[in-house]
């Protein structure tokens, strides 16, 4: 399952795939670029550091000119290695799991239907992330990433 979430508008997209490969990720990104955000100059992606989440994956899935066209629309930011909980898509995935995915779901089609219904409901509500993590909080929690500068 791949998840994209736009926190300021409360819009989300979820793609259920048989696997989580580089090519699957590339197709999701192409869908974001061409269908969901064709009018924007840059798409800022904040993502986990997974081997599938790279611009190189686009070149595995598409011809070089097409891969470059898609890659040029992206501005990629990685979440800190131990900061996965900072990723708003992960927060949304947690909501999805608790509100929609209880119990075993035997068929992929059933999973797709449940996830799409949940996405539609959340998108219609424009359910946004209630981000309460401040820069000061980050400096405390992630102190090893913020060097102390003495003047």
**Rounded distance, CA 131 to CA 60, Å?**
35
Burial class (CB in 10 A: 0-12, 13-18, 19+), 90: middle
Average pLDDT, the chain: 82
Comparing 141 with 126, which gets the higher pLDDT? 126
Comparing 148 with 42, which gets the higher pLDDT? 42
Give the pairing of strands 43-47 and 74-78.
parallel
Comparing 91 with 149, which gets the higher pLDDT? 91
Task: Report DSSP state, residue 48.
Answer: -
- Tallying the residues shown for the chain, one arrives at 151
Residue 74 pLDDT: 93
Residue 146 pLDDT: 63
Calculate what percentage of the chain has a pLDDT beyond 90. Answer: 26
């Amino acid at each position: 399952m791949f998840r994209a979430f736009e926190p300021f508008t409360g819009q989300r997209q979820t793609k259920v795939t048989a696997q989580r490969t580089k090519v699957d990720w590339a197709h999701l990104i192409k869908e974001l670029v061409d269908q969901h955000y064709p009018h924007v100059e840059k798409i800022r992606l904040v993502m986990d550091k997974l081997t599938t989440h790279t611009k190189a994956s686009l070149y595995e899935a598409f011809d070089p000119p097409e891969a470059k066209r898609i890659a040029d629309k992206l501005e990629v930011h990685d979440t800190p290695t131990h900061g996965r909980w900072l990723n708003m898509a992960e927060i949304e995935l947690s909501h999805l799991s608790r509100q929609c995915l209880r119990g075993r779901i035997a068929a992929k089609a059933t999973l797709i239907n449940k996830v799409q219904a949940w996405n539609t409901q959340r998108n219609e509500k424009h359910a946004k992330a209630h981000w309460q993590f401040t820069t000061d909080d980050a400096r405390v929690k992630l102190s090893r990433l913020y060097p102390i500068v003495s003047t």
